[in-house]
Amino acid sequence: MDHLKLVHNEINVGDIMKLVSSPSCGATSLFVGTTRDNFEGKVVKRLVYEAYEGMVQKSLKTLCDDIRSKWNVHGIAIYHRLGEVAVEEASIVIAVSSEHRAESLQAVQYAIDKLKADVPIWKKEEYDGDATSQWKENKESSWIKTEPEENVTPENPESLK
């Protein structure tokens, strides 16, 4: 079963592990992405995430189907925070269970790479000490256009269609 959620509160990693665990599985692999406190010499206060929610759910379902076509996995859970995420808090948790470790490890790596490339979620870094912030571009994003003025942003999600 797949558990796919966008949430506005803290993510409990243990609860997500329980969603995918099974007596038939000998491995549960996790990726936990957290907010770090620095970027290029600036002190990061927090991250702010926004998403084109309808497209995110569709993209995550497609991602899970793709994973299941490549590896023999039991459970998949992908939880992503929206809104403000403080330093050291989890913004994303991906958990995959399988009979053996190779499948779940490969599936988790694939999931985070494809999520960053294909899922319309935007991240803004807010810095300490001043009022500046910066929307971050995922270099892997398949939906980033070549012309900067045409890039998909939280304010312009319709350009994804």
Q: pLDDT tens digits, residue range 19-50?
A: 999 999 999 999 999 999 999 889 999 999 99
Phi-psi region of 129 (alpha: psi -120 to 50; beta: other; left: phi over 0): left
Task: Judge whether 124 is annotated as a binding position.
Answer: yes
- Residue 108: the pLDDT is 99
Residue 60 corresponds to which tokens in the numbers above?
């995550």
| Residue 143 pLDDT > 50 | no
Rounded mean pLDDT, 41-61: 95
Task: Check if the beta carbon of residue 64 is closer than 8 Å to that of residue 1.
Answer: no
- Residue 147: the pLDDT is 46
More confident: 29 or 161: 29
Task: Judge whether 125 is annotated as a binding position.
Answer: yes
CA distance 64 to 62: 5
Task: Judge whether 123 is annotated as a binding position.
Answer: yes
Q: Please say whether the dihedral angle defined by the alpha carbons of residues 2, 32, 53 and 61, taken in this order, is positive or negative.
A: negative
In the predicted model, what is the mean pLDDT of the chain?
A: 89
Residue boundaries of the structural domains of the chain? 2-156
DSSP state of 139: T
Task: Check if the beta carbon of residue 66 is closer than 8 Å to that of residue 9.
Answer: no
| Residue 149 pLDDT > 50 | no
Task: Judge whether 45 is annotated as a binding position.
Answer: no
Task: Judge whether 116 is annotated as a binding position.
Answer: yes
78: nearest Cα among 105, 51, 53, 96: 96
Domain covering 2-156 in this structure, CATH number:
3.90.1170.40
CA distance 74 to 130: 47
Task: Judge whether 3 is annotated as a binding position.
Answer: no
Task: Note the pTM of the prediction, 2 decimals.
Answer: 0.84
